[in-house]
Structure 1
Amino acid sequence: MLPILACSVVALAFTIERCWALRRSRVVPKHLVAQVWHLVKSNTLEPTQLRELRAGSPLGRMLAAGLVNIQYGREIVLESIEDRGRHEAHGLERYLNTLGTIAAVSPLLGLLGTVIGMIKVFSSISSAGLGNVTALAGGISQALFTTAAGLVVAIPTLMAYRYFRGKVETLVVDLEQESLKLVEVIHARRGQAGNAESQP
């Protein structure tokens, strides 16, 4: 029961942490792309603002990675954003493998406790016989209790794991879409500027 109890505490702590860390307002802040575009358009983007972008959110770090290489062209900007995006996706998946492992291991720990308990019950039967049926029933119920405890830990942990997996996938797609918006707007603006310069 002690390992199962430890698993339940760890799973609860990681679930609360992921609920806080994977809030959409924290990962993909609203209107951030518009704010950055305004700075780029007005040529007021400074190194201090880039540092604030990196410190603010995963989306800010992806945008900052692209803006640092904005002078090298669209393909380099996209590669920089994609590379940063892979790092951010890895960060969003933090602790999820641990939750998945707890969901898989908890029932096995419960089963192990039950098997050990049943071995003790049958050992007592072989040594003392079937004289005390009440004691035997109590021993069997205690042995089965660990399996129930393992399932009680595993079921909500598995649900949390699957929920966070889906949420991370959605957030990663949102990060890519928001980053591409800025790239496309900047590229379109440069294209318009180029066309204006080429006209007599």
Structure 2
Amino acid sequence: MKYRIIPVTPFQQNCTLLWCEHTGKGAVVDPGGDLDRIKAAIREEGVTVEKILLTHAHIDHAGGTAVLARDLGLQIEGPGQEDAFWIEGLPQQSQMFGFPDVEIFSPDRWLEDGDQVSFGDVTLDVVHCPGHTPGHVVFYHAPSALALVGDVLFQGSIGRTDFPRGDHATLIRSIKEKLLPLGDEVDFIPGHGPMSSFGQERLSNPFIAGRYG
């Protein structure tokens, strides 16, 4: 599997283009906005995009979903159904954060822990990691030792939990019980900022280092 990170929106959210190197088929993860930039990356890499994958439904991750799905004829998979209230509130989010008007959408498939999503010859495991939002999911590709973790974990930090239905204890539990056990060698693409690895964060992230051995 190959990938390209495309920072979008004023929040510099890491939208990611994933694709199967054998078939050229791929997916766009978290198209929060700046769709011209995303479409340009798709053209430059020669990817045939089949679907949109969403880790969660905050506007900087999901704001461009409805338009991109319509423009390119894509299926929408994710996030978990408990994020439905965030999707319904996208217009209010756009006003609150000064984003352009956005459209509400209905995912073609809500995702749950243990599900899988695929494009081309690539299959990703779905890991439910609530705490930042209740329906937040992570996409994990074991053969590449790569995870797309949205706003659960960052280099040196963790996701905010002060939004509606966020919960700090739940977020720490998601990191402890769902992400770190995937292995120290797993690299991750966060929703914002540079990549890191679970091993590096286990050792040095002040929010989790030293807590779990």
Shared fold per TM-score greater than 0.5? no
Q: In proportion to residue count, which structure has more helix?
A: 1
Greater relative CO, 1 or 2 (CA 8 Å, sep 6+): 1
| Short-chain TM bin | under 0.3
TM-score for both structures, normalised by structure 2: 0.21
Query: Whose Rg is larger?
Result: 1
Q: In proportion to residue count, which structure has more strand?
A: 2
TM-score for both structures, normalised by structure 1: 0.22
